[in-house]
Amino acid sequence: MNKSVLFDLDGTLADTSVDMCNALNIILKKRGLKTVECEDLKYHISRGAVGIIKYASEVNGRSIDSSMIRSDFLEEYSRNCFVETRLVHGMSDLLVLLEKNGFRWGIVTNKHSKYVNKIVNGLNIGDRLSCLVTGNMVNEPKPAPDSLIHAMCLLKEEPKNIIYVGDDERDIIAGKAAGVHTIAADFGFIKDSSIINTWNADNIITQPTELENIIN
């Protein structure tokens, strides 16, 4: 019987794409570079700041000073990481459902705590979380299982009692390595849904509330 549900943050629990896009475009404009479309950028967010800057380079058709832009981007994002960020559509209903059914839930993300804490506070979910593990809390981020293992320790829960939901293959790799039940979120920052089947997740859901069928 699964007792706890853990979520990746970006694209799975919350749509953080617009705030990340706006922060990047501010920096690109300051440097006289082409800006990016937010709808396109979201498919690169799972690769972190490095992947985001790489995409900006592709849009501009040339390599840009990734180290300097990355630093400026992260500073800008830190100031404005909770402006347009919201829970993914249907996630609020799912969280209420989990709580009503006695499930604990939490977040396991590669994102740094200085951003995550602001987002959690902004979403007003901090007091509802049973577990929060950020990328700077472990030695190796996903796809390594370290963050999920750390979550198990915090929850004092066995792997067989945990579900992990994520929208990137690395989430599924980490979950399988940790021995938890893995669910691929087909509503996340995924450009080509056909690739999800290759991740070998235990289940695939196309909207948050479909998780109800799995936990029941």
Could you read off the pLDDT of 113-128 as tens digits, one per residue? 999 999 999 999 999 9
| Pairing label, strands 162-166, 4-7 | parallel
Q: How many residues in total does the chain contain? A: 216
Asked whether the predicted pLDDT for residue 1 surpasses 70, the reply is: no
Distance of CA 78 to the CA centre of its chain: 16
Query: Who contacts 55 (Cβ-Cβ below 8 Å, separation ≥6)?
Result: 36, 40, 41, 44
- Is 151 within 8 Å of 170 (Cβ atoms)? no
pTM for this model (two decimals): 0.95
Q: Is 153 exposed, middle or buried (0-12, 13-18, 19+ CB in 10 A)?
A: exposed
Range of the domain at 192: 4-15+85-215
Same-domain pairing of 118 and 201: yes
| pLDDT averaged over every residue in the chain | 95
Please give the positions annotated as active site.
8, 10
Specify the CATH number for the domain of residue 51.
Answer: 1.10.150
Look up tokens 């999920």; give the residue: 148
pLDDT band at 63 (very low <50, low <70, confident <90, very high): confident
User: What share of the chain has pLDDT > 90, as a percent?
Assistant: 89
| Pairing label, strands 131-133, 162-166 | unpaired
Same-domain pairing of 90 and 154: yes
Asked whether the predicted pLDDT for residue 65 surpasses 80, the reply is: no
The domain total for the chain is 2
> What average pLDDT does the segment 166-195 reach?
95
Same-domain pairing of 110 and 40: no
How do residues 86-107 score in pLDDT, each as one tens digit? Answer: 999 999 999 999 999 999 999 9
Same-domain pairing of 52 and 134: no
Asked whether the predicted pLDDT for residue 149 surpasses 80, the reply is: yes
Look up tokens 């592709």; give the residue: 58
Asked whether the predicted pLDDT for residue 199 surpasses 70, the reply is: yes
What residues form DSSP beta bridges with 15?
A: 86
Q: Which helix (H) or strand (E) holds 59?
A: helix 48-60
